Structure 1
Amino acid sequence: MLSNADIQTLSGQADAAAARRDLPAAAAMLAELAAYDPGDAVTWKKLAAIHRALGRSEDAMIAIGHALAIEPRDPLSLLLKAGLIEAKGDDAEEPYRAALSLIDEPDAAPPALRARLEHARRYCDTAHRSRTVRLSGIAASEIDRLGCTREECARIDAFVLGIADAVSPVLPMLSRHAYHDSATFAGLVAVARGHAALTVEYLRLLADDAMAAVPYVDHPTDVPLDQWVDLNRSRQWSAAHLWRGGGIVRGNADRCPATVEAFAALPTPVIGGRSPNLMFSILAPHTHIPPHVGVTNVRLVVHIPLIIPEDCSLTVGGERRGWMLGEAIVFDDTIEHEAVNDSDDTRVVLIGDLWHPDLSARERTVLHALMA
């Protein structure tokens, strides 16, 4: 076991080895320190930098991942991660943007850091211009082909600006309500009234395959978890996915044909890599899904209640409602929302997504092309 004096000595020797460019020796000593104290983010950052200098990009990425798991909002670690990603030729915009957002006064930063921040800005600006040109071209082509109206063009242009700026596009031109009338969506009332058949398929699915449901929240450890700390990779909130991010989950969906068919008749967005989404959402007893918001209001979220104990509720925009069998709930998840199961039993709802009813068929076609 290393004493505090041993740790200080080894750390100093590692720094000295790095200073004289004996990088293999520095890496070996830093690796020893990291193994002894894996919670020291500074050691992991130093080790990542040494691995990068030695050309060991995979080892550097592993080390910086450990550093970010400890300090997910450290701008220096984010810059190093972004640089490693960029060097591989992959898209590094997200970590560069995250690092830039965390520096309050970039002009006051040390010269070496200022240079890295300026590189990050140039990288993000270039990505933004390229994305804007590409998306604007797609939108213009689709608008011309479909003959969109002036109002449709305005909404499409606003959507292009939102995704070009690398933010989630929330369109104020669409009607914004915490809850929407389920009768607005053709066929939805009938689906909700047919909940018994959907519940049978859910129960059969979990009886046949207990692992059909997985933790709904599954974030990497090197990103800020904030409100998801308690639920990350937890079965307190799990989901049995039938469609996920635009792809059918074959094993689960095959066992639930009536459920899949019921949603196939609804106005569900079909967007490569994004939608449809359809899942049984399973909330364990005495579990709280904390307040959070979704990505865009061009699609809404629908809940079909299946197994609803007492003391369960959904709150959207401060308005609390309970689920009732036979009645669908449709809401705008870009408005802050949360859910709670205060009972001693499991709550199950079927969750899917629907196009916002204000969007015309032409607009949906263009948005499909843009998001794909």
Structure 2
Amino acid sequence: MMDGTREEALRVAAMDALRRGDAVLARATLREMAEPPAMLLAQACNRAGDLDGEQEALRRILDNEPRNLPALLAMGQNMLRRGDERTAAVWFRSALAQAAATGAPPAIQPLLEQARALVDKASRHFEDHLSAVIGEVSALPRLRHATDLMLDRTSLYLQQPSMFYFPGLPQRAFYERSEFAWVPEVEAMTADIAAELAAVRADDADFDPYVQTPRDRPAPNNALRDDPSWGAFYFWQGGRRVEDHAARCPAVMAALAKAPMPIIDARSPMALWSLLKPGTHIAPHHGLLNTRLICHLPLVVSEEGALRVGSETRAWTPGEMLIFDDSIEHEAWNRGTRTRVVLLFEIWRPEIREEEREALARLFEAIDLFGAGAVDTGG
């Protein structure tokens, strides 16, 4: 019998043995072949309980096709039958990623669902294991964040300013009030600033829309464009003092004078009351620069309002400053019944040295002199 004819006869005989449920004979028949089909041999070994033989056959497939979806799933099941849940989860994660990238035939979908369930189970076991080893980490925010990232509880958010990125700065969503010596003095003026706010809103409760359609450039793609539900009452805008507003609010101006706000011609300072009406949601977005931080001094708060920066969400508390990096993805919402108003202003990042601040100011001024810069609303 010619070699090719013999090989085919052995293959057919092995398949017949598998159909009859005789996996041991099927495996023995395939091993008589010079080059047995690897997946068929893996199936025969699997049904015969020969985990090492199955693994060797699957490895032959994966050496040539590292993303072979059936082989990835079978390798995961092989590890699971050995009692190695952790390694099985590694194979199943690879299979799920491959299926997500290229799709999978309907026949494999039940196996993918089993793989997904096993991965979820393994993740829970891993989480329980870590909790038992390292204990409660809630009092250590950075360790908690790192653990949440490792366990896929959250995503990694980094600085992605839309105009200018300054390298080497820490990736921090929020800064703490206690880190800034000037903050207590500003917070102590909250009542006076709130009184000025009430007087201004007594004349007109609404402010101009925070995001407005400019006349000299394309309209911004923002659902709240020209909508007073997100309102702004400026004290400094584009580096220029808004004289009539400043004159009405001396407490605001005195408070702002205590903060290290950037001084950049035609750009900074930037300071305003930011108003958010009930039912309003500011969609996730990034600020222009990572060279500054945004400060919120809450004056009027809503019971269902919050600010998310990266993976962390904080609520506004009257008189307690929130300080954050708006170059990291952030969003805000007011799901309550009261209008929220904060005093919003920018400050230099504390990590930027004085000589760097001076150089950055000159650089930004040169950029703006070249042509109309991007509109900066500060988040």
Secondary structure of 2:213's counterpart equals: coil
User: Within 2, Cα distance between the matches of 1:280 and 1:167?
Assistant: 23
1:170 aligns with 2:165: yes
Secondary structure of 1:176's counterpart equals: coil
Q: Which amino acid aligns with 2:291?
A: V
Secondary structure of 1:350's counterpart equals: strand
In structure 1, the residue matched to 2:238 is 245
Q: Which amino acid aligns with 2:274?
A: S
**Equivalent residue in structure 1 for 2:356, among 338, 363, 368:** 363
**Equivalent residue in structure 2 for 1:214, among 187, 193, 208:** 208
**Identical positions, percent:** 39
TM-score, normalised by the number of residues in structure 2: 0.51
User: Within 2, Cα distance between the matches of 1:204 and 1:298?
Assistant: 34
Contact 2:213 2:219 in 1 (8 A): no
Query: How much has 1:182 moved relative to structure 2?
Result: 2.2
Q: Which amino acid aligns with 2:237?
A: R
**Equivalent residue in structure 2 for 1:290, among 283, 290, 293:** 283
In structure 2, the residue matched to 1:352 is 345
In structure 2, the residue matched to 1:257 is 250
Query: How much has 1:224 moved relative to structure 2?
Result: 6.0
1:199 aligns with 2:194: yes
TM-score, normalised by the number of residues in structure 1: 0.52
Runs in 1 of length 4+ with deviation above 2 angstroms? 182-186, 206-211, 219-226
Query: How much has 1:189 moved relative to structure 2?
Result: 2.5
Query: How much has 1:278 moved relative to structure 2?
Result: 0.8
Q: Provide closer, same or farther for how the CA distance between residues 323 and 167 of structure 1 changes in structure 2, counting only shifts above 3 A.
A: closer
User: Within 2, Cα distance between the matches of 1:225 and 1:267?
Assistant: 29
Query: How much has 1:184 moved relative to structure 2?
Result: 2.2
Q: Provide closer, same or farther for how the CA distance between residues 218 and 184 of structure 1 changes in structure 2, counting only shifts above 3 A.
A: same
In structure 2, the residue matched to 1:187 is 182
- Counterpart mapping for 1:98-137 below 5 A: none
Larger radius of gyration: 2
Contact 1:302 1:354 in 2 (8 A): yes
In structure 1, the residue matched to 2:133 is none
User: Within 2, Cα distance between the matches of 1:232 and 1:167?
Assistant: 18
User: Within 2, Cα distance between the matches of 1:190 and 1:265?
Assistant: 8
Secondary structure of 1:198's counterpart equals: helix
For each residue in 1:64-104, what CA deviation from the matched residue of structure 2 results, as whole angstroms up to 9, or x when unmatched? xxxxxxxxxxxxxxxxxxxxxxxxxxxxxxxxxxxxxxxxx
Contact 1:288 1:339 in 2 (8 A): yes
Secondary structure of 1:232's counterpart equals: coil
**Equivalent residue in structure 1 for 2:332, among 339, 342, 345:** 339
- Counterpart mapping for 1:64-83 below 5 A: none
Contact 1:184 1:357 in 2 (8 A): no
User: Within 1, Cα distance between the matches of 2:326 and 2:281?
Assistant: 17
In structure 1, the residue matched to 2:298 is 305
Contact 2:187 2:321 in 1 (8 A): yes
Contact 1:185 1:266 in 2 (8 A): no
In structure 1, the residue matched to 2:41 is none
Query: How much has 1:220 moved relative to structure 2?
Result: 4.2
Query: How much has 1:369 moved relative to structure 2?
Result: 1.6
In structure 1, the residue matched to 2:69 is none
In structure 2, the residue matched to 1:320 is 313
